Amino acid sequence: MTVAKPDWLRKRLPTGEITKKIEENLLRNRLHTICQEGCCPNQGECFARGVAAFLIMGNVCTRNCRFCAVVPGKPIPLDIGEPARLADEINGMGIRFAVITSVTRDDLPDGGAQHFVKVIHEIRMKCPEVGIEVLIPDFNGLPSAVRSIVDAGPEVINHNVETIPRFYPEVRPQANYDQSVGVIRMVKKMDECMVTKSGIMLGLGETTEEVRMVMDDLIRAGCNILTIGQYLCPSRDHHPVAEYVRPEIFDEYKRIGLEMGFKDVAAGPFVRSSYRAVDSYLRTIGTDNSGVIRNQSDLHKLARRG
């Protein structure tokens, strides 16, 4: 049975000159965003603010998660020029905090970790004042792959658990819940000062107790920032929505998460992993949330102090 979408879950599609310019630049430079590939409901708002979450290593994923709009299949070989083009685009857009994510590349020995590292290095070289958050796949739990990302030194390392363990066989059949939580744990053991982040979706049929269990698992793994959003079904071929969770329930999960010890919790129907990422980062490291990022060394000092 199809659940009717409530009024609070309606947003305008992206329009305007800024949005058009971003889309044209991405097409010309052969770059992708998860905003577009993932059918994110916030892309109009973010594009209008000159913000985008970039998708590297192509737009075809080796996994077929039943909640995700990204196309599954056989990816093309890595584009060695992508890191430099992406850094140029970020520099040209005047972005102060870049979110970089990727499709899952199980076809690569390291899952694409070294490609992430090259992207981080290019951004550091061409626009050193820009903060970086990476939303990484699980790399099949490979410690050396996770280590290479930690050593590259982004401001935030994010890996989403996405949903409760009970739904993994149906919703994320090629993933493993304990392995996903383990990625956060590995990052924190490798660098206790690294800001870590994860996210879950609501509306698949989970119970409050199950959500709290996931939150507890993430806290114990060392997760600093949590995002909680509403699952929106991309098409009839994807997993159906079981429930549209009311905004006040998200508010309650935020309250619970902060009491449990998360440094920051972003929770709401339209919240996604990269939504207002810089705000969450600044709150986590203890700034006044003015949104002013001064330079890279200051960012690292603040993060270490926090």
| Tens-digit pLDDT profile for residues 104-129 | 999 999 999 999 999 999 999 999 98
Helices (H), 127-207: 143-152, 168-171, 177-190
Do the domain assignments include residue 4? no
In total, how many domains does the chain have? 1
Do the domain assignments include residue 186? yes
Q: Which helix (H) or strand (E) holds 196?
A: strand 195-202
CA atoms within 13 A on the CB side of 70: 24
Residues 56-94 as b/e (b if ≥16 CB within 10 A, e otherwise) read bbbbebbbebbbbbbeeeebeebeeebbeebbbbbbebe
Do the domain assignments include residue 282? yes
Count, in order, helices (H) and strands (E) of the chain.
12, 10
Do the domain assignments include residue 1? no
Reported pTM: 0.85
Per DSSP, 237 falls in state T
80: its two tokens: 């060695």
Query: What CATH number is attached to the domain comprising 221?
Result: 3.20.20.70
pLDDT in tens, 76-101: 999 999 999 999 988 887 788 889 99
Q: What is the dihedral of CA 91, 93, 94, 95, to 10 degrees?
A: -90
**Residues 279, 240: contact at Cβ < 8 Å?**
no
Do the domain assignments include residue 262? yes
pLDDT in tens, 237-269: 788 899 999 999 999 999 999 999 999 999 999
pLDDT in tens, 28-77: 555 555 444 444 554 555 555 555 678 899 889 999 888 787 788 999 99
At 58, which amino acid appears?
G
What is the residue range of 107's domain? 10-305
Do the domain assignments include residue 3? no
Do the domain assignments include residue 112? yes
Do the domain assignments include residue 225? yes
